Structures are given as C-alpha cells and as structure tokens.
A and B are shown apart, each in its own frame.
Chain A
Amino acid sequence: EIVLTQSPGTLSLSPGERATLSCGASQSLSSNFLAWYQQKPGQAPRLLIYGVSSRATGIPDRFSGSGSGTDFTLTISRLEPEDFAVYYCQRYDRSPTMYTFGQGTKLEIK
C-alpha cells in the first residue's frame, strides 16, 4: 500500500510569514502526478497545484510546489488571512489506478 505522510500535522504561523508544507511518499513517484489541495471548513477541496509544480486556474503565485521522487513541498510565500486551512497532497498511480491522499496539514493562525 502506498502511503503519503504530511508534515507537520499542524503549522502555526502569522499572516505575512512563509509556510512550508511537506509530503513524503512511501514509494517514489515514477511520474509527476502529485497535486495539492486546500480545504476550508464546510467546503470541498480546491485544487491548488498539479503536476508537482503547476498552479491551477486562478491560484495566486504565492503558492508554489516542488519536489521529486519521494519528497514534495508546498510553499506559500507570504500568508494571507484566507490561506489558513487544511492542505492535502495527493498522488496518482496508473498501475493499478489509484488516487492516494495524505492525512493533511492544518495551517492555523498563530
């Protein structure tokens, strides 16, 4: 079973600070099918980053993704008040077909 482990579980920061969220895979990705989502209470997840580093439509450039192999990072360069939410990483595998999500990182206001 492929597992994605996100760290930290909770990250406490202030608006204006830089946030670095990590996602580690139990098996290396053979492709670049790694995405990040933001979820606010009572809402559906929203796609932020796909293909490791491509921003989805309408996503501000303060959000960036990077990484390869088993280690991936979501960086928010300067936190805005609306960025405090839960973030999930997700990988896609083709054989067998499977989407796997990390357990989430809660980004909270310090």
Chain B
Amino acid sequence: QVQLQESGPGLVKPSQTLSLTCTVSGGSISSGSYYWSWIRQPAGKGLEWIGRIHTSGYTNYNFSLKSRVTISIDTSTNQFSLKLSSVTAADTAVYYCATDPMIAGHLDYWGQGALVTVSS
C-alpha cells in the first residue's frame, strides 16, 4: 500500500513562498497510473484541491490558485513538491498530499497532513 508523508516549514512569513514536499513510499512515483495531488484544509473548514502532477510532468491546477502555485516531481527521490507564492494568512491550513488514480476521479491514499501557518 502506498504511503505518503508531507514535510516542510510549519511557519511562513506573509508575502513569502510556502514550500512542501511529499515523500512516497510503498510504490513508485514514476507509475504512469497515478497523478499526485495536493489538497488543503483551513482549521475548522472544508477541503480545497490545489493541483496535481503526473510523472510525465503534466500538471493541472485549481484555477483560483493557478497564478501562485507550482507543483513539481522528482522521480529520483520519489517525491513531489508544492510551492505557493505570495502567501497571506488565508493560506494558513493543513496541507495534504494524496494519490490520484488516472481516469478515476477520486483521491485514494492521503498523507497525514502538514500544518502551515502564515504569520510574521
């Protein structure tokens, strides 16, 4: 079974760039059968999909965040990453990575989540 683990700074200053990495174990990120997604959840609120990447490098982003988001993949380390620029307090959330089977329309395995707080 695939396992995912988010990592990165828990505190980011306003206007700076949030950076998180998701490490995949129990499976290869090079599998062409999956996309690799990022989702976030502000405290006490619902879930928001941020975007995803395929091993080919093809990406899809949430239109509302597209201008600030970059998702990349590193097959040599079995990791994929999220960068969110120009952050504000509204970007404070738990960030999850998840597997996204192609042509399936759901997210089946999730990491435990990483809390990122935007504050000076």
Interface residues of A (CB under 8 A from B): 31-35, 37, 43-47, 50-51, 56, 88, 90-92, 96-104
Contact = CB atoms under 8 A, between A and B. Distances in A.
10 closest Cβ pairs, A-B complex: A33-B105, A92-B105, A99-B49, A97-B60, A35-B106, A44-B110, A50-B106, A101-B47, A103-B46, A47-B108
Interface of B: 37, 39, 46-49, 52, 60, 62-63, 96, 104-108, 110-113
Contacts of A43: 112
Nearest to B107: A47
B47 A44 contact: no
B63 A44 contact: no
Contacts of B105: 31-35, 50-51, 91-92
Contacts of A88: 46-47
Given A50-B106, A99-B39, 19 more contacts: A32-B105, A33-B106, A35-B106, A35-B107, A43-B112, A45-B47, A45-B110, A46-B110, A47-B106, A47-B108, A88-B46, A90-B107, A91-B105, A92-B105, A92-B106, A98-B60, A99-B37, A100-B49, A103-B46
Contacts of B46: 88, 101-104
B27 to A, nearest CB: 14
A32 B106 CA distance: 11
Contacts of A97: 52, 60
A88 B49 CA distance: 13
A65 B97 CA distance: 25
Nearest to A56: B108
B111 A44 contact: yes
B99 to A, nearest CB: 10
A99 B64 CA distance: 12
A50 B104 contact: yes
Contact of A98 (B63, B104, B107, B108): B63
A74 B91 CA distance: 31
A71 B96 CA distance: 28
A51 B39 CA distance: 20
A44 B39 CA distance: 11
Contacts of B113: 44
